[in-house]
Amino acid sequence: MTAQIIDGNALAKRVRAEVAGRTEALKARGIQPQLAIVLVGEDPASQVYVKHKVADSEQTGLKATLERYPADMSEADLLARIHALNDDASVHGILVQLPLPRHMDSARVIETIAPAKDVDGFHVASAGALMVGQPGFWPCTPYGCLKMIDSIGLDLRGKHAVVIGRSNIVGKPMAMMLLGRDATVTICHSRTADLKAMTLQADVVVAAVGKRNVLTKDMVKPGAVVIDVGMNRNDEGKLCGDVDFAGVSEVAGWITPVPGGVGPMTRAMLLVNTIEAAERTAG
Ligand code: NAP
């Protein structure tokens, strides 16, 4: 079998077009959806990420404001700035780019964002809402993975989904989303005794580890759906995922590439959360 590719770029384009339509509809009612992005410090990767987030937003008609602060900004000043954005009715979504400088407590900073504007979905209130099935904002990466699974028309009910990785921003929320769709979910991590025994049972595997070749051909059930969240560098310095793409493609039914898979969908889902935030405020 040769796996079919789930094209993250093509799907993200469709999602952006849908967001653009919803943005137009709000603008017609006199509401300009707005995302405030806060960047503290000079981290090179973060600078690239925020640039993309601003460009994506503007492409879909969302207004994005980027506030840059020096790395020695005090945490108290950052919290004050977030409070001001919380109180600003023209701002619908707030994103504080991580990582923050070491002298800041990231958890405290994220908890300061009003849950109604937490478009990254990292606030404990957002995590809790996902856990109990209440409306909230879902973290963009697992939300994008779910959209990719949906895009192939797979009914997750009764399927066995194996999530490799248990981080708060990818693995755990991914597992909750799959559970919410009535999949039977297994969460694996660095202490899992026999990863292969788990993944071989899986109809869907989501790999979110951050290590190359965590999932190889011999670990995948024929026809399985494989979603690769990992972002690593290979020996030539090129971007690659957690999955041995060439080998696993020979066995899986569907597979996401890296690059061009989960990455673009993560970016697209931030726009979805932002327009959702603006629509909820508008009523
Ligand atoms: P993380 O916080 O480092 O979590 C990694 C998880 O993998 C942990 O739960 C860890 O287990 C588990 N793990 C480590 N080695 C393992 C092994 N050999 N077998 C099974 N599990 C193992 O990372 P993250 O933030 O979730 O991100 C995961 C990857 O996704 C990274 O490569 C990151 O760059 C990428 N990512 C991509 C996007 C995107 O937009 N494409 C977005 C977010 C993240 P323990 O809990 O036991 O340590």
> Residue 185: helix, strand or coil by DSSP?
strand
Residues 231 and 210: beta-carbon distance below 8 Å? yes
Angle between helices 44-59 and 8-28 (to 10 degrees): 60
Pocket-testing residue among 189, 228, 234, 271, ligand 1, by greatest number of atoms within 8 A of Cβ: 189
Residue type, 114: A
Q: Calculate the CA dihedral of residues 173, 174, 179, 182 and round it to 10 degrees.
A: 150
Q: What is the pLDDT of residues 3-14, one digit of tens each?
A: 999 999 999 999
Whether 29-114 shares its CATH topology with 140-263 is answered yes
Domain 140-263 has CATH 3.60.15.10: no
The H or E element containing residue 34 is strand 34-40
What whole-number distance in Å separates Cα of residue 264 and Cα of residue 259? 9
pLDDT of 181: 98
With beta carbons less than 8 A apart as the criterion, state whether 82 and 113 touch: yes
- What's the confidence (pLDDT) of residue 99? 97
Structure tokens at 161: 């989904």
Assess whether the C-beta atom of 119 lies below 6 angstroms from ligand 1: no
Ligand 1 contact, 170 CB (< 6 A): yes
Ligand 1 center–CA 61 separation, angstroms? 33
Distance, CA of 211 to CA of 256 (rounded, Å): 16
Give the separation between CA 136 and CA 129, rounded to whole angstroms.
6
In percent, the amount of the chain with pLDDT more than 70 equals 100
Is 227 a pocket residue for ligand 1 (Cβ < 6 Å)?
no
Indicate if the pLDDT at residue 89 is higher than 90. yes
DSSP 91-116: --EEEEPSSPPTTS-HHHHHHHS-GG
* pLDDT for position 169: 97
Mean pLDDT value of segment 149-163: 98
Q: What is the pLDDT of residue 143?
A: 98
Q: Is 47 a catalytic residue?
A: no
239-247 long-range contacts, Cβ below 8 Å, gap at least 24? Answer: 240/212, 241/207, 241/212, 242/164, 242/207, 242/208, 242/209, 242/210, 242/211, 242/212, 242/213, 242/214, 242/215, 243/207, 243/213, 243/214, 243/215, 244/212, 244/213, 244/215, 244/216, 244/217, 247/216, 247/217
What tens digit of pLDDT does each residue of 220-272 get? Answer: 999 999 999 999 999 999 999 999 999 999 999 999 999 999 999 999 999 99
Give me Rg for the CA atoms of the chain: 19
Mean predicted confidence (pLDDT) in 155-182:
98
CATH of domain 29-114: 3.40.50.10860
Q: Is 256 in the pocket of ligand 1 (CB under 6 A)?
A: no
> Is 268 a pocket residue for ligand 1 (Cβ < 6 Å)?
no
Q: Is 53 designated active site?
A: yes
Phi, psi for residue 271 in degrees, rounded to 5 = -70, -40
| pLDDT of 1 higher than 90 | no
Across the chain, what does the average pLDDT equal? 98
Residue with CA closest to ligand 1 atom 43: 141
Q: Which amino acid is at 105?
A: D
Tokens of 231: 């972002």
Catalytic residue (choose from 34, 53, 228, 244): 53
Torsion of CA 150, 61, 22, 111, to 10 degrees: 70
> Could you read off the pLDDT of 17-71 as tens digits, one per residue?
999 999 999 999 999 999 999 999 999 999 999 999 999 999 999 999 999 999 9
SS3 153: coil
Distance CA 168, CA 159 (A): 23
- Domain ranges in the chain? 29-114, 140-263
d(CA 46, CA 226): 28
